[in-house]
Amino acid sequence: MKGWPVGIVRSQESGVRSQESGVRSQESGVRSQESGVRSQESGVRSQESGVRGQGSVVTQSLVGLDS
């Protein structure tokens, strides 16, 4: 063979491009998972701060009962 047929070369190039786009979509999927984990962590922190706020309310009400 003197050279590759043009159609085969183009199909190989498009295959490589589709693989690259697949890798990029996987990377973006991993990033979205990481951001989801971060949002869950921030949600847990807000719940913890809410529990701490409730604890302070309970102590205030108990002090009021003593008086």
The predicted-structure confidence for 12-67, as pLDDT tens digits, reads as follows 888 888 888 888 888 888 888 888 888 888 888 888 887 777 777 666 666 666 55
Q: Which residue has the higher pLDDT, 6 or 30?
A: 30
Side-chain half-sphere exposure of 46, counting CA atoms within 13 A: 6
Largest CA distance in the chain: 101
Q: How many domains does the chain have?
A: 1
Cβ-based neighbour number of residue 51 at 10 Å: 9
Cα–chain-centroid distance for residue 29? Answer: 8
Q: How far apart are CA 25 and CA 23, in angstroms?
A: 5
How much is the pTM?
A: 0.38
Q: How far apart are CA 61 and CA 47, in angstroms?
A: 21
pLDDT at 36: 86
- Domain span at 29: 1-67
pLDDT at 2: 66
